[in-house]
Amino acid sequence: MAKDPEVAIVGAGAAGLAAARTLIDAGLSVHVLEAKNRIGGRAYTESESVGIAWDHGAHWLHDQGRNFFTTFASAQNIPLEPVSENRWLWTGQDWASDFEKRDYDAYCDLVFDRIQRLGLDPQDKPVSDAQPPHFRYRTMFDSWYAALSGMEPDESSVHDDYRYSEDTGNARVLCGYGQLLAEYASGVPVTLSTPVQAIDWSANGVALETSDGTVKASAAIVTVSNNVLACDAIRFSPSIPVPYREAFEKIPLGGAEKIAIAFDKDVLGLSDAHLFFFHSTPKIARFQIRPFGENIAIAFIAGRFAREIANEGTDAMASFALSQLVDVFGADIRKSVTRVRPTDWCVDPYIGGGYSTARPGYADMRCILSEPIAERLYFAGEAHAIDAFGTVHGAYRSGVATAKRVAGQLHLELIGSL
Ligand SMILES: Cc1cc2nc3c(=O)[nH]c(=O)nc-3n(C[C@H](O)[C@H](O)[C@H](O)COP(=O)(O)OP(=O)(O)OC[C@H]3O[C@@H](n4cnc5c(N)ncnc54)[C@H](O)[C@@H]3O)c2cc1C
């Protein structure tokens, strides 16, 4: 691997890996510096913690009709599976009827229609302005919206939501989305466990200071999350312009966490099911029950509550998720629990949350993020994908688009120097 490459890339998540592949294909030398001891960032599959492969972060291939990883999986003969439509809604005492599920779905459809209409208004507003008051469904919708976007409707911009492209549907992959990304990244030169501490872009080119020395390059692509950038984990010299700093703060990552619970046998009775709840509290998880028929349940917690419980720690997360399952399936299931593994995205200093959402009034700031500084300092990542933010395929597209800009600029400079 070239120590001082033409392009240095900070972060080996979907955006960084896609940028690296694109630049290598364009004949440029790259050096990817990753803080963690693994690649993938928020797309990470592992099987050691609970004995079954599961995705700690991204698991669904959203917008499968236009998602690069659909094409990639097909080229690799890796089959994709449809997402299960098997939904179970727990009322607190019993399973909800089909009528109750349809009634709730109708409320959600109504709100999404109203978001689309509000999105046409020149004045940006919170998504919560699109919600009719409803004694039963409003809190449920809040939690569902937080699962989709990372933040509750009152903290999310309606313009941001409106610009997210209509989705062609979800697919999933047995080996895990993180593993699929790892297959794509095979052969990309990455140095692990090497956090970038500072970037000097004061002179020609850039100099990246790491715990293991300085890397010099003609340009850098920084793909770390907005929350990491907003807390000054990387020192820039000179400081980066104020509008970028404001964009990091106004398009933060919301909360998203998972808890995997493995059982020694099938004690839940459902297979490949989504379990969600009638609830009037924001403190709630939803579950994937026995995905792909495995004896595992995966709790998903989003929004403010995800951040709150992540701060309480992994024991609190495990105990909360299990007690919610016990409410439905009875206390005996505890005897069959073999292992439990919560994630820690919100408190991870190299990630800082789930996925980005613009605060009301700040959706336009996503465009600022994609502009290079001085033609040598570039940013990329899911937060840059105006119509696919918060996703792996959005991060991929941002990485590819940024890499093409960098390659174009470096070729221009080369021609100019001849
Ligand atoms: C719980 C959860 C569920 C999700 N579900 C889905 C889903 O189903 N489908 C979907 O499409 N998306 C989903 N997402 C979102 C998706 O995972 C992200 O949008 C995407 O992976 C982001 O990629 P990225 O490259 O922009 O950023 P990241 O993956 O965050 O990559 C940035 C990398 O930079 C590294 N880094 C940070 N600081 C430094 C430093 N100082 N020096 C060097 N390296 C550094 C980080 O360690 C990380 O590896 C989910 C996310 C979470 C958390």
pLDDT in tens, 5-47: 999 999 999 999 999 999 999 999 999 999 999 999 999 999 9
Alpha carbon nearest to ligand 1 atom 21, residue:
42
Cα–Cα dist 284/253, whole Å: 19
- Mark whether 222 and 95 lie in a shared domain: no
The answer for residues whose C-beta is within 8 angstroms of residue 138's C-beta and 6 or more apart is: 131
Alpha carbon nearest to ligand 1 atom 35, residue:
11
pLDDT tens-place string over residues 135-157: 789 999 999 999 999 999 999 99
Task: Say whether 231 sits in a helix, a strand or coil.
Answer: coil
Structural domain contains residue 27: yes
Alpha carbon nearest to ligand 1 atom 34, residue:
11
* Structure-block tokens of residue 108: 């959600």
Structural domain contains residue 139: yes
Residue 351 CA, ligand 1 centroid: distance in Å: 7
- Mark whether 270 and 408 lie in a shared domain: no
Average pLDDT over residues 54-81: 97
Of 347, 367, 390, which closes a domain?
347
- Mark whether 243 and 264 lie in a shared domain: no
Alpha carbon nearest to ligand 1 atom 53, residue:
354
Atom of ligand 1 lying closest to residue 233 CA: 41
- Mark whether 160 and 262 lie in a shared domain: yes
On the question of pLDDT at 1 being above 50, the answer is no
Residue 412 CA, ligand 1 centroid: distance in Å: 32
- Mark whether 333 and 365 lie in a shared domain: no
Is the pTM higher than 0.85? The answer reads yes
Structural domain contains residue 2: no
On the question of pLDDT at 237 being above 50, the answer is yes
CA proximity to 315, closest of 259, 254, 255, 256: 259
pLDDT tens-place string over residues 83-92: 989 999 999 9
Of 286, 316, 347, which closes a domain?
347
Residue 304 CA, ligand 1 centroid: distance in Å: 19
Residue 383 CA, ligand 1 centroid: distance in Å: 10
* Structure-block tokens of residue 385: 């994908």
- Mark whether 219 and 332 lie in a shared domain: no
Of 291, 321, 347, which closes a domain?
347
Cα–Cα dist 86/360, whole Å: 34
Q: Out of 3-17, 318-332, 366-380, 404-418, which region has the weakest mean confidence (pLDDT)?
A: 404-418
pLDDT tens-place string over residues 354-384: 999 999 999 999 999 999 999 999 999 999 9
Residue 415 CA, ligand 1 centroid: distance in Å: 36
pLDDT for 11 equals 98
pLDDT tens-place string over residues 191-210: 999 999 999 999 889 999 99
Structural domain contains residue 66: no
Atom of ligand 1 lying closest to residue 380 CA: 26
Cα–Cα dist 317/342, whole Å: 7
Residue 354 CA, ligand 1 centroid: distance in Å: 8
Peptide bond into 238 cis (omega under 30): yes
Per-residue confidence band for 415, with pLDDT thresholds at 50, 70 and 90: confident
Residue 38 burial by CB count (10 A; 0-12/13-18/19+): exposed, middle or buried?
A: middle
pLDDT tens-place string over residues 107-136: 999 999 999 999 999 999 999 999 988 778
- Mark whether 150 and 258 lie in a shared domain: yes
On the question of pLDDT at 352 being above 50, the answer is yes
On the question of pLDDT at 2 being above 60, the answer is no
- Mark whether 320 and 372 lie in a shared domain: no
- Mark whether 143 and 91 lie in a shared domain: yes
pLDDT for 258 equals 98
Write out residues with Cβ below 6 Å of ligand 1: 10-16, 33-36, 41-43, 57-60, 62, 195-196, 223-225, 228, 233-234, 256, 258, 345, 350-351, 354-355, 381-382, 390-392, 395
Domain that holds residue 203: 7-40+185-252+357-417
pLDDT tens-place string over residues 389-399: 999 999 999 99
Cα–Cα dist 19/337, whole Å: 41
Residue 262 CA, ligand 1 centroid: distance in Å: 25
On the question of pLDDT at 418 being above 80, the answer is no
Per-residue confidence band for 417, with pLDDT thresholds at 50, 70 and 90: confident
- Mark whether 395 and 246 lie in a shared domain: yes
Structural domain contains residue 305: yes
Q: Which of 30, 298, 355 to mutate to test the pocket of ligand 1 (most atoms within 8 A of CB)?
A: 355
Average pLDDT over residues 242-265: 97
pLDDT for 219 equals 97
Atom of ligand 1 lying closest to residue 399 CA: 25
Q: Decide the pairing of beta strands 196-200 and 235-237.
A: parallel
- Mark whether 94 and 26 lie in a shared domain: no
How many domains are there within the chain?
Answer: 2
Structural domain contains residue 100: yes
Domain harbouring 320, CATH code: 3.90.660.10
Alpha carbon nearest to ligand 1 atom 31, residue:
13
Structural domain contains residue 120: yes
pLDDT for 23 equals 97
Residue-averaged pLDDT of the chain: 96
pLDDT for 134 equals 74
Residue 335 CA, ligand 1 centroid: distance in Å: 35
Atom of ligand 1 lying closest to residue 382 CA: 26
Domain harbouring 204, CATH code: 3.50.50.60
- Mark whether 162 and 282 lie in a shared domain: yes
Structural domain contains residue 179: no
CB-based burial, 139-168: b 16+ in 10 Å, e otherwise: bbbbbbbbbbbbbbbebbbbbbbbbbeeee
